Structure 1
Amino acid sequence: MSRLDLNLLIALDALLTERSVTRAAARLHLSQPALSASLARLRTHFDDPLLARRGNAYELTPLAVRLAERTGTALEASRRVFEVQADWSPENSTHEFIVFGSDYAFATVGQAASRLAAATAPGVRFRFELHTPAIVEDAENQLRVADGLLIPHGHITDLRSTELWSDNWVIIADTDHPDLGESLRMEDLAEQPWVFTYQTRSAFTSAGQQLQSLGIDPRVETVVQSFLALPHFIRGTRRLGLVQRALAVGLTAIPGIRVHEPPFDAVPVVNALWWHPVHENDPQHAWMRTLFTRAGRSVAQRQLGGR
């Protein structure tokens, strides 16, 4: 490490992202000879060309592909080290918090947290990024350099968390569904096709799993990783879909969508904010956690008021 320069990490990230010395130099506002010199040092260090010419373009070598998966994370971690302040106040901060989650989480507690922050910390910014199964499965490493993950209990263990609020499941269907009555029956759930939002080992909904535990094997015609998009795959079809009650009111504003109560006692959605222990004693992170706790309470109060 004593022989390495942190600026080489910046150069490496730009080179692997742009796959061009010219474009990487422009991105970093450096001369092309200066970045070529950095590339030469990196090639010597890794004993690998990193960028290999193929015709008129460059391709990443197998080692460079592996490095590309780590450089962004390493840069973010380095940036956060040098952003730490002895005295931090939200009123004067321009910090950016990075939070993973689903569109459901962003449309509910994420939106509420953003509004609360704007009122007391106008310079603070949130970057809400959609999670993926890979992020959830690798949450411990991902949350070293991100601030939090908004996801219900049941997906992650061994990380710090705080409960935000509880929600319930409802089932949506087309208003003119020819096979459904005023209320759903368990037989309907078995006979009708479904749209699921997630269906992998680490990405699932608790109610979807519960259906299987009740002896119903849903006939899934479509999987879409978006709760907000769900009605568009249901309207005009015989399909059913599971969605959280907090979103249901807004989704019914889409013509042709009707909300049904499930014919079984669906397990509630216990929404939580998760973070890595490395952030535990960080005052700005503690402020963010308090903000999301307040946001969760406001979402819960709105749900109670809307019933």
Structure 2
Amino acid sequence: MPRSAAVALANVDLNLLVVLRELLREQNVTRAADRVGITQPAASAALARLRRHFDDDLLERTGNGFVLSPLGRQLAVEVEPLYLGVERLFTPDPPFRPELSTHEFTIMTTDYVLAAAGEQISRALHTLAPSVRLHVRVAKGRLPADLPETLRAIDGIVSAPKAEFKVDEIRGAELFRDHWVCVLDAGNPAATGPLTLDVLERLPWVVPNHPDGAYPASSPLGPLMARLRTTPRVAVRVDSYNATPYFVAGTDRVAVMQARLAAGFAGRRDLRVVDCPGDPPPIVEILWWHARRDPDPAHRWLREVLVEATAPVRACEPARA
């Protein structure tokens, strides 16, 4: 390191790194002070020093509190790997050992993903790390509106791609794929032959995780909806992918659902599973996480386990109806 850079670094109070990280994470001086274990005036004084150092407000006041300045948003991404590196350097804790760890991981996903791959993930974690704990948060309705902020607080979200995930601080790894099929009552005339988009438009629908209003373009079903000339009539909204076929039996309704889920109902004589018209794009389920977790060995281990555990699922995409 050049002498001038070394001198400049020596003049920086590295205690400010801890305060900076929490200020950028919490965007609140009082909460940041609580997390660091200092008083609120001390955190305010540290923020003032950081503002002078960077010649930037970092936290900009709004009517309801603070938001990050453009530089603050940039530093929020850069500070995490730096902080974790310093933490590993000065903390005498042993490296992550999954077979001995009691660490708890938190994952958010849908009941569909759990039906498709939950057992494989559970078995892998239990075999490799029997004392590791897993908190699975099952999303009902929409995923949280602020996905990057949610991913700062939990280990990952397993979901189909959404525009909200396409930001610099979010990483992703594909877990498995699927395709859409239609489930109808066996007595429904539409179930006797190939289903067309025209017929699909006329049928009343059973739709999972449907908001009160127009179906969002960001939904996994968005591309199929875009192929229809008219918006279908939604007869039943249910906050569960698994529950949709139960509202089809004995009715003239149709449920558009994932082939892996529909396969569980293929043995019922009162239901028919047919190919979805319109050639909708495949369903791609991805593990998403925040870039701040990239250097964390425990999180890196979790990502590797999830990808490996779902390899058999990736290799066995359900056949077309």
- TM-score normalised to structure 1 length: 0.68
- Unaligned regions of 5+ residues in structure 2, if any? 1-29, 38-63, 65-83
* Contact 1:101-1:130 within 8 A present in 2 as well: yes
1:280 to 291, 294, 299: 294
Change (3 A) 1:176 1:305: closer
Equivalent residue, structure 2, for 1:100: 108
* Contact 1:109-1:292 within 8 A present in 2 as well: no
Give the 3-state SS of the residue equivalent to 2:191 in structure 1: coil
2: CA distance, partners of 1:2 / 1:172: 50
Deviation (angstroms), 1:167: 1.0
Give the 3-state SS of the residue equivalent to 1:93 in structure 2: coil
Equivalent residue, structure 2, for 1:289: 303
- Unaligned regions of 5+ residues in structure 1, if any? 9-65, 67-79
Deviation (angstroms), 1:291: 1.0
Equivalent residue, structure 1, for 2:231: 217
2:124 to 104, 116, 122: 116
Give the 3-state SS of the residue equivalent to 2:114 in structure 1: helix
Equivalent residue, structure 2, for 1:148: 156
Change (3 A) 1:143 1:4: closer
2:202 to 191, 198, 201: 191
Equivalent residue, structure 2, for 1:35: none
2: CA distance, partners of 1:3 / 1:264: 51
The amino acid across from 1:267 in the alignment is P
Give the 3-state SS of the residue equivalent to 2:121 in structure 1: helix
Give the 3-state SS of the residue equivalent to 1:266 in structure 2: coil
Give the 3-state SS of the residue equivalent to 2:310 in structure 1: helix
2: CA distance, partners of 1:238 / 1:246: 23
Give yes or no for the alignment of 1:176 onto 2:187.
Answer: yes
- TM-score normalised to structure 2 length: 0.65
Identical-pair percentage: 30
Change (3 A) 1:3 1:184: closer
* Contact 1:172-1:260 within 8 A present in 2 as well: yes
1:91 to 94, 99, 112: 99
2: CA distance, partners of 1:286 / 1:135: 24
Change (3 A) 1:253 1:203: farther
Give yes or no for the alignment of 1:303 onto 2:317.
Answer: yes
Give the 3-state SS of the residue equivalent to 1:117 in structure 2: helix
Deviation (angstroms), 1:98: 0.6
Equivalent residue, structure 2, for 1:157: 166
* Contact 2:140-2:209 within 8 A present in 1 as well: no
* Contact 1:170-1:242 within 8 A present in 2 as well: yes
2: CA distance, partners of 1:246 / 1:2: 44
1:133-157 CA distances to partner (integer Å, 9 max, x unpaired)? Answer: 6643211111112110010113522
Change (3 A) 1:95 1:202: farther
Change (3 A) 1:255 1:121: farther
1: CA distance, partners of 2:172 / 2:134: 19
Change (3 A) 1:162 1:119: same
- How many pairs are equivalent? 241
2: CA distance, partners of 1:157 / 1:177: 41
Equivalent residue, structure 2, for 1:12: none
Deviation (angstroms), 1:285: 0.5
2: CA distance, partners of 1:264 / 1:122: 45
* Contact 2:223-2:280 within 8 A present in 1 as well: no
